Amino acid sequence: MIDETGLPPHPAAWPQTTAGELGFDPAALAEAVTFALIHESPWPRDIRAHLEAGFFEPPPDNAIIGPVRSRGDPNGVILRHGRLVARWGDPRQVDMTFSVAKSYLALLAGLAVGDGLIPDLDAPVGQLVEDGGFDSPQNRGITWRQLLQNSSEWEGTLFGKSDRIDRGRNLQLEGKGRKGEPRPLQPPGAYWEYNDVRVNRLALALLRRFRRPLPEVFAERIMQPIGASADWSWHGYETSWVEVEGRRLQSVSGGGHWGGGVFIHAEDQARIGQLVLQDGIWAGRRLLPEGWVAACRTPCALNPHYGLLWWLNTGRTRWPAASAESICFSGAGGNITWIDAPNGIVAVLRWINATRLDDFMQRVGAALRSPAPAA
């Protein structure tokens, strides 16, 4: 497996290898690209208006408290064995990514584990983070792993948003079904729920441990070593400023649900995906702790399709057309990073209709006519 042979540091243009050289049928791969282009996300261009109209939840819970940007055209890239084989649209178009930021928080958690800032994922967070957020009977036993698996059942209000807003959230009915209804909370680790407030609580806990803004850590430890651009940014909320050792720092959000999150382009996302495909190693240098990618790919006992803030394809039951080892970083509106390690593929799709993702994967798989040796 190569490192970044085909990916020169930004802003150099990526050399594009022919599809045939990397084991694809050129016409079939072109069909997959066309499929991504014509199956555009149903999300409108004006994302602020979409959020304010109550896509995620009705007023007043939908109040936007972080930056928002209108989206651009569909675009993306496909890499194989670290070399660019296809691109469409403008893959240097910076857009919001929504919950892809959650998967990036998992990378930061791995750095914290490697640095010894989190010695034990199964220890209560409150043993290391003493800010009042883990003092209640419901919260005091919550572990780092439970926050990373979305099984913490953390209770409270953070930065003006109550965890109640996302209780009962069903991603299959996102934008169509009711949520936020009262329900009895379960013990930590006993119930899986996709909840942005709890993910934001994880981000704040990581900030407390690093004692530095998470975007600084991400830039220094991940983005700069992999040759990414400086075009990306990671935001929190106007309400998420906290004091850390006498400094006023902004805690970032794990998505764009109420604004904020990661604003980034497809080329930089592809580099991050390639780092994960290479087990956290880039140019012979280990950036992520040994074993961390495997830990993130381990299914949660409560949800076999979820690891540590990464979506999984356990038993090929989420995306039947893809390999069982496939993982995705997924964000609302059709923002996908697909990493298929057995086939050496990293694909970034911006603003695709997410209900057609498996169809896209099927077309990419059908285009593979022979294995391509890793350079």
pLDDT tens column, 162-202: 999 988 777 666 556 676 677 899 999 999 999 999 999 99
The reply to whether 32 and 139 lie within a common domain is no
In this prediction, residue 176 carries a pLDDT of 62
Give the 3-state secondary structure of residue 16: strand
For residues 148 and 109, the answer to whether their CB atoms sit within 8 Å is yes
Residue 148 lies in a domain: yes
In this prediction, residue 3 carries a pLDDT of 43
In this prediction, residue 1 carries a pLDDT of 37
Residue 339 lies in a domain: yes
The reply to whether 113 and 86 lie within a common domain is no
Residue 374 lies in a domain: no
In this prediction, residue 2 carries a pLDDT of 40
The reply to whether 314 and 197 lie within a common domain is no
Could you tell me the CATH number of the domain that includes residue 118?
Answer: 3.40.710.10
The reply to whether 181 and 308 lie within a common domain is no
Low-confidence residues of the chain, pLDDT below 70? 1-6, 171-177, 179-180, 370-375
Residue 166 lies in a domain: yes
For residues 333 and 352, the answer to whether their CB atoms sit within 8 Å is no
The reply to whether 122 and 244 lie within a common domain is yes
Sign of CA dihedral 59, 254, 196, 210: negative
Domain of residue 289, residue span: 20-97+265-367
Q: Write out the DSSP string of 242-284.
A: EEETTEEEEEEPSSSBTB-EEEE-HHHHHHHHHHHHTTTEETT
> What pTM was estimated for this model as a whole?
0.95
Q: Which of 220, 252, 284 represents a domain boundary (last residue)?
A: 252
The reply to whether 223 and 291 lie within a common domain is no
In this prediction, residue 6 carries a pLDDT of 63
Q: Which of 252, 282, 298 represents a domain boundary (last residue)?
A: 252
Q: Which of 208, 229, 252 represents a domain boundary (last residue)?
A: 252
Residue 4 lies in a domain: no
Give residues with Cβ within 8 angstroms of 172, minimum separation 6: none
Residue 7 lies in a domain: no
The DSSP secondary-structure symbol of 343 reads G
The reply to whether 83 and 110 lie within a common domain is no
In this prediction, residue 173 carries a pLDDT of 60
The reply to whether 211 and 240 lie within a common domain is yes
The reply to whether 139 and 280 lie within a common domain is no
Residue 3 lies in a domain: no
The reply to whether 68 and 37 lie within a common domain is yes
Summarised one tens digit per residue, pLDDT across range 132-167 is 999 999 999 999 999 999 999 999 999 999 999 988
Total number of domains in the chain: 2
